[in-house]
Structure 1
Amino acid sequence: MPCFRCGARQTDPSRGASPWRRGVRADRQVLVCPGCQSGRDWAADLDGCAACGSTALVSRLGEIECRDCGHTREAVPAGPADSAGLVRSGAPPGDGGLSEEVAAALTRVLRRRP
């Protein structure tokens, strides 16, 4: 999953915890890369908890849970694209050619002819 702000793709950390942060925006789980975290107040772009205001939210199985206070709520279903411009299913707009890269990798690994 790419960074929701700049589209950078996550790579495996050499050791230890990942420097990437998770959050929820428009009821959808998103990642924030270390570069975007060092910029302006990136947490302002994320949804906040209705109970405590924290942005430490996770989205799982149709519900949103606050990691700070434990408050949960049902995720609001939306159409193909919501007001924030996020696609609710499938690849995000402008996936940077990821679909083509995956298809090319599968072709190489499975030794298919194009």
Structure 2
Amino acid sequence: MPCFRCGARQTDPVRGASPWKRGVRADRQVLICPRCQAEHDWTAELDQCDACGSTVLTCRLGEVECRDCGHTREAVRDDERPGDLVPSGGAGPVDADLSQEVAAALSRVLKRGPVR
């Protein structure tokens, strides 16, 4: 998953805690790269807990949970979301590129011929 602001890809982690941060934006789990953490007020762009206002949220299995107070709510599905709330991070549409990268990686790992 790329950084939601700049589209940078996370590389293989080194031992220890990851310098990348997680958050929830428009009811979707996002990652924030170390560079964007240093250069931008990225917490202002994240969703906040309805109960306590914290931005330390996690999104899983259709629910958004606050890691500070434990408040849980149902995540809004994209087809129910108004158009102005759809996530619009700096990464843009990368699905085609990502699909090609995954196919190439699988071919290398499984020692297949070139991807067509």
* TM-score bracket for the superposition, by shorter chain length: 0.7 to 0.9
Structure 1: 4+ residue segments shifted above 6 A: none
Q: Deviations over 1:36-60 (max 9, x none)?
A: 0001211011000011111000001
Query: CA 1:96/1:11 → structure 2, altered by over 3 Å: closer, same or farther?
Result: farther
* Larger displacement relative to structure 2 (74-83 or 2-11): 74-83
Aligned counterparts, 1:4-19, within 5 A: 4-19=4-19
Q: Does 1:69 align with 2:92?
A: no
Higher relative contact order (CA 8 A, sep 6+): 2
Partner of 2:27: 27
Q: Pairwise CA RMSD of aligned residues?
A: 2.3
- The total of aligned residue pairs comes to 110
Query: CA 1:56/1:110 → structure 2, altered by over 3 Å: closer, same or farther?
Result: same
Unaligned runs of 5+ in 1: none
Calculate percent identity across the aligned residue pairs.
69
Query: CA 1:111/1:80 → structure 2, altered by over 3 Å: closer, same or farther?
Result: farther
* Larger displacement relative to structure 2 (100-109 or 77-86): 77-86
Q: Does 1:86 align with 2:77?
A: no
Answer yes or no: is the 8 Å Cα contact 2:26–2:86 preserved in 1. no
Q: Does 1:41 align with 2:41?
A: yes
Partner of 2:98: 98
CA displacement at 1:86 relative to structure 2 = 3.3
Unaligned runs of 5+ in 2: none
Say which SS state the counterpart of residue 59 (structure 2) adopts. strand
Query: CA 1:5/1:96 → structure 2, altered by over 3 Å: closer, same or farther?
Result: farther
Q: Please state which structure has a larger fraction of its residues in helix.
A: 2
